[in-house]
Structure formats: structure tokens, C-alpha cells
Amino acid sequence: MAAVMDLQASAPLPPGLGEEQLAFRRAARDFALAELAPHAARWDAEAIFPREAIARAGELGFCGLYVDEAAGGSGLSRLDATIVFEELAALDPSTAAFISIHNMATWMLTRYAAPALRAAWGRGLASGAQLASYCLTEPGAGSDAASLKTRAVRDGDGYVIDGTKAFISGAGATDVLVVMARTGGEGARGISAFAVPADLPGIAYGRKEEKLGWNSQPTRGVAFEGVRVPAGHRLGEEGEGFRIAMKGLDGGRLNIAACSLGAAQGALDAARRYLGERRQFGRKLAEFQALRFKLADMATQLVAARQMVHTAARKLDAGSADATVWCAMAKRFATDAGFSICNDALQLHGGYGYIREYPVERLLRDCRVRQILEGTNEIMRVIVARHLLDTEEELR
């Protein structure tokens, strides 16, 4: 009962959005209520990857939201995508997050692949019939991604890839890996990007990690040993891989921020309902001013985070020069706020918030990792501070 949350109390459509966005929001909400909400708690408890449900999301265009229509996608804006991800995540933050990562990897492949590769993979990925994983992180290269060691050596008309990736979402259950590997010297300029079929000889997957949250999607390490890929599977030119990875992460950070908004909205709705139902000392909890003020602060924090995410999305859609720093600020602020709101919602539930009959403990667990992935929030602060200080230098 409590696992299926009523989203009719979701926040009103923020200013500056129109009827099309309202339609996307309604479609995503209806899908989440029908396809995610009834199963999310079981998928979490049993660590089930709901590939069939993701494929049905693809039928609605949710697996290629901002992929060009010519490549088989929906051709929507980044702002439209944040609205969809928020609604999906309000009921199942884990599955919504995988769909968001798949969108990022699919966009990277369709945006930077040669025409033949785009034709081979684009429509399958954008439709959800095939799924993609993003392979940047390594055991020794997390926040310092430019120090990655996986190497792709030119060999005739292709490349041979050797190395290891870590914490890869969907690994072992997806069809293509977007892999960053070193083709040149040290540093960011020596990195290239490749689309690698996930079943090629020489690819091995580690054990499925046991995680605090995000249990409806598998996370594994991936080892590459003598993996041969044609040169036509390179994305962009040699040495452009790190730039491509960072371009993908601008959108990926927005996606993860939007998923945090969704989890926070779901938690806020659950807390509001609980305060209206639970009685203590002969009164509904909603009648206690301290708890009413806490709910008001949670709602205010959520609205502020949503406005920042939407502003960053508009910046990215417009190709603004400062889009990257806005995406970093939005990711930092929204993921911190999202976890805080989920934590406050659990506190308002008291002991009931800590048990699985109520959804807030799952929302809290699924929300926590967002402060780490797609660049930790400490790295987001580095990006923002660098922008501020570089701008100051330019003004002198």
C-alpha cells in the first residue's frame, strides 16, 4: 500500500513551462504509476533488473529523450528530459536513474558516432530494445578521471583494448559499452571514446556489487583483455574522448539532479500524507507547528532545487558558455537537497520511516549515491570555484 505513492500532490508546474511539458509530465507520471510503482519495492528487495519495464519506457520515447529524431530518438530538450526523469524517480529512483544513464550513453553514441555505427545502434538504443552502459570510472581513476589507464592500441583497421573499469551501471545486462580509453599520452588529451559491443571476446564482468541502494540495476566491474574493435567504433576523433565524456556528463549531471528532485518529491508527498494520518497526544501530527514548519522548509528547498535544475537545463539547451558550471551547481545543490529532504521525511515518519512497509527508507537509500556519481559533489565545487576564479582573473 505505502509503496505505491499518490503523485497527485506533486508540486505545480514551475513557471516558464508550457502545455507540451505538462503532457510529458503526465505521460511519465502515468507510466511510473502503472509500470514502476507496483514493483519497485520488490525489484529493490530482490535486486531485479526490470529490463521489460525499461523496454516499455522506450516505447514511450523515454530511452532516447534528447537523442535526435533522425537517429531514432524523441528529439526533446534537456529541460523536457528533466521533467520526465523527475516523475519517474518519484516512484522508483533506482530504475529512473538507470534510464537516465542509458539516455546519456545513447546520446553520446548517436551524437559522435560515424553514420554506419549510428545506424547500427541508434534506433535500438533509443527505443529501449537495446541498452547502454557508460564506462569511465576505473579502480584507480574516480574523481581524477583524466588519469585513467585503460588503453586502446591501434592495430591494423581497428583497436585492441586492455584495462579495467569499475562501478559500471548496468554492466553485464546491457548491449553496448561507451568506453573511454587511452590512445595517446598522459592526461585528458590522450583519451578517446569507443562504442564496444558488450559481448565481444575478451570482455569479462565482475560480481554484482551489493549496494546500499540502486538495487534494481546491476553494478559491476568490467575487464577488457585484448578486446578488438573496428576503427569505425571510435566516437569522434582520437584524443577527443575526454571532451566527449565531459559533454555527456553535463547532461548526465542534470539527469541525476532531476532524479533527486523526484525522490525528494516522493518523500515530501509521503511525509505530508503521514502527518495527516498519524495521531499522537490526541492530535494529528499535522497540527504540531514544529512539524508543519519542517514540511514547509522541505517544500521550499525542493522548489529552489527544481528552479536551479531547470535553469541549468535551459543553459545547456541554449549552448551557453557557462552551461557546464550551471550543470555542476545544479547537480551539487539538487542532490544535497534531495538527500536532505528524504532524510527529513524519514524523521517525520519516526520508527515507521525505518521499515520497508513505507517507501521513504528506499527513497533515502536510492538518493544517497547521487552525491557521489557523475562527479562527486566535492568535484562539482571544484568546477564552480575554478569558473569563479578564472572569471576573476579575466576581469583583472
CB count in 10 Å sphere of residue 30: 13
**C-alpha–C-alpha distance, residues 14 and 310, integer Å:** 9
Closest CA to 51 of 255, 256, 217, 263: 217
Whether 374 sits among the annotated catalytic residues: the reply is: yes
Provide the pairing of β-strand 176-182 with 191-197.
antiparallel
Note the maximum CA span of the chain.
79
Cell of 35: 509500470
**C-alpha–C-alpha distance, residues 251 and 105, integer Å:** 10
**C-alpha–C-alpha distance, residues 287 and 394, integer Å:** 54
CB count in 10 Å sphere of residue 115: 10
Q: In a 3-state reduction of DSSP, which class is residue 199?
A: coil
Report the C-alpha dihedral over residues 282, 286, 291, 293, rounded to 10 degrees.
-140
Q: How far is CA 386 from CA 33, 42, 242, 299, in A?
A: 42, 43, 18, 31
DSSP 68: -
- Using alpha carbons only, give the angle 365, 367, 373 rounded to the nearest 5 degrees: 115
The string of DSSP letters for 348-370 reads HHGGGGGSTTSTHHHHHHHHHGG
The single residue listed with the C-alpha cell 512497509 is: 357
Q: In a 3-state reduction of DSSP, which class is residue 126?
A: helix
Of the residues 374, 392, 393, 394, only one is catalytic, namely 374
Cell of 281: 497526544
Active-site residues: which are they?
374
